[in-house]
Amino acid sequence: MKRQTQESKKNNLRVYIGSTLFFLYIIVSTVIFGPIILLCVILPFEVRYKLSKLWVKWLLAVLKVTCGLSYSIEGIENILQDQPCVVLCKHQSAWETVALRLFLPRQTAVLKKSLTWIPIGGWALATLKPIAIDRKNQREALKMLIEQGTQRLQEGLFVIVFPEGTRAAPGENKKFNAGGAMLAQKSGYPVLPIAHNAGEFWPRNSFLKYPGVIKVKIGPIISVKGKKAKEINEEAAAWIKKAMEEISQAQ
């Protein structure tokens, strides 16, 4: 897979200053929005959700200004506003964990339970109906994913699953865990596959963010009717792999 151009990979002064300013904004905005969302715990979920979406909207706007990093989307027409889906998304960066909130309908995500223990930001996250699982207990985690995931889908929320489990470096293809596909198969809700190259610009475990345009490809809905979880998983994985190759070739 191709990487960024050499120009965009340079760790120049702009990259360091921009990344520092963006980091400071994350801290300040979390300190502001976190307590507000927590105080709204007695209000309807919709209020807290709109506040979290506003936080993400401003976050990505500041990311564009400070780091020169934006995004473009292909396949937005594949999103059915009145049809909740199990979203199986490529996982390369922290970017997609927040950005999906902007261009997908109301949603929740499967995440590590430990993230909800982080002061302020994590506590606020815990009020947004996440499916917080303990990865150390895989059997219990799968049970929780299917039970809570089905409930969230029935409530009209999209359920986002990162089937690779952890962030993969650009060009790396990790095996897809079957949990998301099992949720789709058992609940009867369709799958929406998503590919992107955010890791090229916002690398995993990196403080630095590089200028450029993150490419997002949203695939056609995958029907789960009459299919086994393994078939669903393989179909989604194949589409995402092909889409990642197309994104790479277009760079």
**CATH code where residue 49 lies:** 3.40.1130
Residue 43 lies in a domain: yes
* Residue type for position 222: I
| Bridging pattern class, strands 191-196 and 212-218 | antiparallel
Residue 101 lies in a domain: yes
Closest alpha carbon to 236 in 182, 156, 186, 197: 182
6 pLDDT exceeds 60? no
List C-alpha distances in Å: 56 to 50, 79, 98, 135, 241: 10, 20, 6, 26, 27
Q: Residue 44: which domain range?
A: 6-250
Contact 226, 114 (CB under 8 A): no
Element (H, E) at 35: helix 13-39
Question: Whole-angstrom Cα distance, residue 118 to residue 140?
Answer: 22
Residue 1 lies in a domain: no
Per residue in 189-240, pLDDT (tens digit) is 999 999 999 999 999 989 999 999 999 999 999 999 999 999 999 999 999 9
pTM metric for this prediction: 0.92
Helix (H, G, I), strand (E, B) or coil at 108: strand
Residue 133 lies in a domain: yes
244 pLDDT exceeds 60? yes
Residue 90 lies in a domain: yes
Closest alpha carbon to 183 in 136, 141, 216: 141
Q: Supply the DSSP symbol for 170.
A: T
* Residue type for position 204: R
Interacting residues of 207 by C-beta distance below 8 A, sequence separation 6+? 19, 23
Residue 140 lies in a domain: yes
Per residue in 80-105, pLDDT (tens digit) is 888 999 999 999 999 999 999 999 99
Per residue in 166-190, pLDDT (tens digit) is 898 988 888 999 999 999 999 999 9
Total domains, the chain:
1
The pLDDT assigned to 106 comes to 95
Q: Which percentage of the chain shows pLDDT scores above 90?
A: 81
Residue 135 lies in a domain: yes
Residue whose tokens read 């929780």: 144
Residue 126 lies in a domain: yes
